Chains A and B, each alone.
Chain A
Amino acid sequence: MPVAGRSFFLLPLIATAEFSLSLRREGYSFDAYRYVFSDPDFVSSFGYSALIAACTIVVGTVLVLPTVYLVRLRLPWLRPVVEFIVLLPLIVPPIILVFGYLRMFSSSSPFPLTGTARGSDILLICGYVTLTLPYMYRAIDTGLQAIDARTLTEAATILGARPATILIRVILPNILVSIMAGAFLTFAVVIGEFVIASLLTRPAFGPYIQRVGVAKAYEPAALAILSFIITWIAMGLIQLMAHFSPNVQRENR
């Protein structure tokens, strides 16, 4: 990558990191990070977002895997429609989605989900599942393409396996790396998401970063760096899992 390109990406990051270490006048320190970690709201908001991310991953996988599998094997003519639908979250801003939720599920509606914390959590997960649909769909679709799901399904079928067994024992283990890739992308998106969580008034990590940013100077920079590190760890894990995938090992032989 040319130097200019590297600088474009790295300089703001280095500047933010440098600023996050500059809380003390006499020199660099990790005080901003220490304050962040000692803040009970940091732990609770991060824990909450991590839990919501885990739920989003589970719901997203349960929704997307059978859909993609079915479209690939039985309904290939439906593929362009599904591809269009899963791209909608990239076109329609999250704020439109969340206003739709607030209108449909307000306390005066037939389904007053926003009236309770649990209901709002469910809406938040639904919003995140929608928001991360393009990533999860693409990851799983690529995984199914790589393993030749049709032939594996036919091989298992003729050996007596029923669809649920095939999905759980043959397909799922072989696209686990792809699912994990989708899961880490989902995790990275959910951890930093602000709009939906804020408008549903959920105690998530995104609104927490925003609140800290309003009130403090150095801690938001520390939080930004922490968010980057979380995302990088997620990406690193994707690479690591892909490296140990049986399919990749076969190709490397």
Chain B
Amino acid sequence: MNLIDPAVRAGVTLHLSQITKRFGRHEVVSDLDLEVRKGEFISVLGPSGCGKTTALRMIAGFEHPTTGRILIDGRDVSRLRPDQRNLGMVFQSYALFPNMSVAANVGFGLKIAAMADRNIQRRVAEMLELVGLTGLERRFPYELSGGQQQRVALARALATKPAMLLLDEPLSALDAKIRLSLREQIRDVQTELGITTLFVTHDQEEALSMSDRVAVMNSGRVEQFGTPLEIYNRPTTRFVASFVGTLSILKARLLDPARGVVEVATATFKNLEIPRGVARGGHLSLAVRPEAIRFGVYKGDVILRGKVIGVGFYGSVIRVRLIVGNETITIDTFNTPLSSPPLRGEDVDISIDPKSVFVMRAE
């Protein structure tokens, strides 16, 4: 899949061209094309083992691509050492040097670059102010919380003024509350500095909430590359549709390809966009997001009747699972003081807007 938009070539900072990586016979990354514009925050999202970290490690220089080229600001860096690429990186495990203070950690890259001590001190102070850790210069990593350690790691990665920032699941080791605040802080710092950033994560919420664009990877390939809204609302593959967000998949049969008429359980959908090559009577899958289904009967929607088999309370949202025919459907509804969720075992009507349905070939 070619993900390079010719219109943005002028402003390119990172360009991965036909990157493939094999470990022995196992191909971990396959024909990866990706173009990142200057100042963009890009997330690479995918399940464990999809090749996203290998792709990041190739950009960093810790692995070399088997074939293909990596261009940073137009310069081919595919065979350069990591220290020759002018990149900053934040690791999942923080990777702070335990024998060094916060100031020494942040100033490490500057010291290596033989910067004068006075300038190092000034830069370290700037970086610590940026990440909100002023005053902790003399502390050692073991004296800091996980969130503070990751902020030091961020300051250290940015101190050398890298051309690009690589984030390898930096929030995975943190607890939920800190993860939430730190992801906002990372995005704020990135926006303030305007630094091109590549963020690898398996957490779809992180990817969708932080990024300008998201590349969804599966089995070594990018399945879709687009804005978070495009990824969520217009998934182009079955994998993206099922991996990003929650989906209910309904078995369906095509009644009229020309008019997009599809039969599901006891109801009929009309004017759906049918994938090419599916003949009349052929099997399809209809996918629908939990928030696109409503309880009750609404005009213009397709109405189905089902039995409630589970109710989950998530604060502002109530998630209800029900059986329609032989299929399980998940519905999210806001928790409002005036509404009461259906009870387990209750028969209810649900409405689905046909425009919110994705039609896919049956597996």
Contacts and interface: CB of A to CB of B under 8 A. Distances in A.
A249 to B, nearest CB: 5
A13 interface: no
B295 interface: no
A156 B97 contact: yes
Interface string A145-187: 0011001101111111110010000100110000000000000
Interface string B79-96: 001110101110101011
Contact of B156 (A154, A159, A246, A250): A159
A247 interface: yes
A253 interface: yes
Given A249-B142, A250-B141, A158 B97 contact: no
B112 A158 contact: no
Contact of A155 (B85, B91, B113): B91
Interface string A213-253: 00000000000000000000000000000000011011001
B147 interface: no
A151 B93 contact: yes
Contact of B82 (A148, A157, A173, A253): A157
Contact of A160 (B62, B99, B109, B153): B109
Interface in B36-94: 60-62, 81-83, 85, 87-89, 91, 93
Nearest to B97: A170
Most buried by B among A155, A174, A247: A155
Contacts of B358: none
A132 to B, nearest CB: 25
A159 B140 contact: no
Given A159-B108, A159-B156, A154 B97 contact: no
A150 B290 CA distance: 43
A152 B141 contact: no
Contacts of A147: 98
Contacts of A155: 89, 91, 95-97, 153, 156
Interface in A63-107: none
Contact of B95 (A154, A246, A253): A154
Contact of A156 (B60, B108, B153, B160): B108
A73 B9 CA distance: 37
Interface string B107-134: 0110011000000000000000000000
Interface string B132-153: 0000000011100000000001
Contact of A158 (B89, B93, B113, B140): B89
A165 B62 CA distance: 18
A152 B95 contact: yes
A151 B83 contact: no
A158 B82 contact: yes
Nearest to B87: A158
B98 A161 contact: no
A159 B112 contact: yes
A151 B140 contact: no
A170 B100 CA distance: 9
Contacts of B160: 159-160
A156 B140 CA distance: 17
Nearest to B153: A155
A158 B77 CA distance: 14
A148 B93 CA distance: 9
Residue among B83, B98, B109, B140 with most chain A CB within 10 A: B98
A160 B142 contact: no
Given A147-B98, A158-B60, A160-B160, A250 B91 contact: no
Contacts of B83: 157-162
Given A151-B95, A158-B85, 20 more contacts: A151-B91, A151-B93, A152-B97, A154-B62, A155-B91, A155-B97, A155-B153, A156-B97, A156-B108, A158-B87, A159-B109, A159-B160, A161-B83, A170-B97, A173-B99, A174-B97, A174-B98, A246-B98, A246-B142, A253-B142
10 contacts: A147-B98, A154-B60, A158-B87, A159-B109, A160-B83, A174-B97, A174-B98, A246-B141, A246-B142, A249-B142
- Among all A-B residue pairs, the 9 with the closest Cβ atoms: A159-B109, A250-B142, A155-B95, A173-B99, A160-B112, A246-B98, A160-B83, A151-B95, A158-B82
Interface of B: 60-62, 81-83, 85, 87-89, 91, 93, 95-99, 108-109, 112-113, 140-142, 153, 156, 160
